[in-house]
Structure 1
């Protein structure tokens, strides 16, 4: 049997005098039986187990010693890290004494506080919690708390949302509402209150009744109505003295049961901006239409026509017809809207009854057939308006689009929102026709081309979009300066296409690539959805 030797001192393992913490070289020399077994898959003999076990036992001692040393060092490292964290904390506290924030004038700090208030889009989804601004500002320091208390405008915005089976810790308790009202002092209040039909109605009514004590100070009301809350709202007739903006929506079809009309806002003396979403059932609402500058409404055409005839001060309108759509009436009186600048119509046929000499932006719901778009040309001709921005919720056929662009050269902003796979063919054709090819240049005056996508957007031809934008950006005969590619959700452009779009941005094209909630908000802006209603 070959004895296993230490290759540092030449002794056998049994007689090696190196300490366990200083292990010998355990690699056997070439040519030995041990070396052969370590470097092959040979089957060991029974006699080989002797020197192998000796080798293992020799390794155990230094290995255990190293494990102990590592454990000791880890404990020491943890102690050092704790000491460092303590020192760092003390250093940060001392540095904070010299922080410019301590010397910042209260009015400047107050302005910064106003920028920390939650975004309206976020609060509409989840409401406001005590961990949000301005509440969180009062827990930083006595000075911050005093400054926050001294600025009533920080406390004027209420965003309260109830949901089914809502976690009680996320609820907006009544004492918080009362405290916030007190801190708002005499300022006008912005109320965003969204009830839930299936949640306990008692806390909803308690909070809303608390707010109604100050209804004369309401400047803004965005209300998600339920069957339990509607009677409380009806009792407020004649008390909306400061209300400028009104938004109404219904939590569910059950919320509308028994409601035949809403007639409590007709005498609101300051109301100029109204939006009503009646997605479950159209409910008539009486409004001070002569003073309105903006309205958005889901209603039959006859309801819209009655409003438009009297609303000569309108600057923006969303004419959405989602109920009782019948045969369009015979053409008769054209409704004059002398101040209207922005308009959305869910049915192009609406345009046959309107004239809008001041219109600068128009959004139309359409499809690949382009049905009803003949009324667009007629209304633009009749109105002689300075239209500059044209948005399609959908994708019309290429021929109709170019006829409009050719006839109305003031249009420089063109946008499309694709929301259906049936529109993919029309969109692909349109992108192809917009490509600069040889001496042919379609719509050379377009300086902005926008594309948005709702829902699953895998059917969008992103490669064709890139080719079109690239050709117009590189052409001296085109005015393209800005482009946008927005999507509600993935996958969006990838790989070579995405790289190509980013290169155009590096070359100077003002290109926006967005997805998610920010993209949705911009697309809604193209269709003149209000941010708050």
Structure 2
């Protein structure tokens, strides 16, 4: 685009009054043309977006994931679970993130028990709100009849003013009620008040490993002789006189005890 002032551009030249008027007149016509072009660009952009939305929505309608059979999609969901630890209650990870994609995926995820068969959570996270306690129980209900892998770690079992000791004990009792499905269990540490709920533990036919830190009184209430698959046990006895351990690994072959009173011996 040619200009009579091309040779003056990008210099320190100061136009005369006559030249200034000429430049202003020239800019006015070009500004009008620019406005027309900008308006045309907006129209074309809106038209492009409309066509793009049309194409994308129809592509989604015939997309391959939408046509996957529910059983295959369910297996893909399960493959999204972490492999080096239990699942966590985070909307950024499976299984919860799968419930945020669409209603169909949410329905399938909630009805796939294996997605909810593991849980790792700090006590300080769940024991501050009754709704989180309820969420844990709902999580376990969704697991159906699947073997459970549960990890509850950290302090907080003996200090949860928001929900009270009764609710904590009720939570442990509900966990104990599912003991027939326990596979890998870890409660570290577990306060005496909360651990009394473990008295409701019945048979544990699926139990393979267990780790508990609690008082000696509570440990005496736990009968592990009815766990035919059990191969790993770590019991930490804490009676405020320093921790003492009983470690059995594997259950049927080797026994290693350290600083443990005689009453905490192999149940066989």
Same fold per TM (> 0.5)? yes
Task: Tell me which residue corresponds to 1:194.
Answer: 153
* Alignment pair present for 1:273 and 2:236: no
Distance in 2 between residues matched to 1:235 and 1:84, nearest whole Å: 63
Shift of 1:78: 4.4
Task: Tell me which residue corresponds to 1:151.
Answer: 112
Task: Tell me which residue corresponds to 1:111.
Answer: 75
Deviation per CA, 1:49-88, whole angstroms, max 9, x where unpaired? Answer: 6x44544454345446555655554454444334433322
Asked whether the 8 Å contact 2:86–2:150 carries over to 1, the reply is no
Cα 1:287–1:162 change in 2 (3 A) is closer
Cα 1:111–1:36 change in 2 (3 A) is closer
Task: Tell me which residue corresponds to 2:90.
Answer: 129
TM-score when scaled to structure 1? 0.38
Asked whether the 8 Å contact 1:190–1:218 carries over to 2, the reply is yes
Alignment of 1:498-513 (within 5 A): none
Distance in 1 between residues matched to 2:49 and 2:89, nearest whole Å: 34
Task: Tell me which residue corresponds to 1:179.
Answer: 138
Of Structure 1 and Structure 2, the greater helix share is in 2
Task: Tell me which residue corresponds to 2:122.
Answer: 161
Cα 1:61–1:152 change in 2 (3 A) is same
Distance in 2 between residues matched to 1:87 and 1:108, nearest whole Å: 33
SS of alignment partner, residue 81 of structure 2? coil
Distance in 2 between residues matched to 1:196 and 1:67, nearest whole Å: 69
Task: Tell me which residue corresponds to 1:91.
Answer: 55
Alignment of 1:289-300 (within 5 A): 291=251
Distance in 1 between residues matched to 2:198 and 2:80, nearest whole Å: 33
Deviation per CA, 1:215-269, whole angstroms, max 9, x where unpaired? Answer: 3322222224254xx42224314536143222346xxxxxx8xx46744545253
* Alignment pair present for 1:233 and 2:190: no
Deviation per CA, 1:130-150, whole angstroms, max 9, x where unpaired? Answer: 453223434545554454344
Task: Tell me which residue corresponds to 1:24.
Answer: 3
TM-score when scaled to structure 2? 0.66
Distance in 2 between residues matched to 1:100 and 1:120, nearest whole Å: 30
Asked whether the 8 Å contact 2:74–2:108 carries over to 1, the reply is yes
Deviation per CA, 1:18-75, whole angstroms, max 9, x where unpaired? Answer: xxxx87320458xxxx99954xxxxxxxxxx6x4454445434544655565555445
Asked whether the 8 Å contact 1:266–1:286 carries over to 2, the reply is no
Task: Tell me which residue corresponds to 1:243.
Answer: 207
Cα 1:120–1:81 change in 2 (3 A) is farther
Asked whether the 8 Å contact 2:231–2:250 carries over to 1, the reply is no
Shift of 1:196: 4.0
Cα 1:243–1:95 change in 2 (3 A) is same
Alignment of 1:342-491 (within 5 A): none
Distance in 2 between residues matched to 1:167 and 1:54, nearest whole Å: 78
Asked whether the 8 Å contact 2:233–2:251 carries over to 1, the reply is no
Deviation per CA, 1:351-395, whole angstroms, max 9, x where unpaired? Answer: xxxxxxxxxxxxxxxxxxxxxxxxxxxxxxxxxxxxxxxxxxxxx
Task: Tell me which residue corresponds to 2:184.
Answer: 220
- For structure 2, the residue ranges without an aligned partner over 5 or more in a row are none
Cα 1:106–1:112 change in 2 (3 A) is same
Asked whether the 8 Å contact 1:273–1:293 carries over to 2, the reply is no
- How many residue pairs match? The answer is 252
Higher RCO (CA < 8 A, seq sep 6+): 2
Shift of 1:212: 3.3
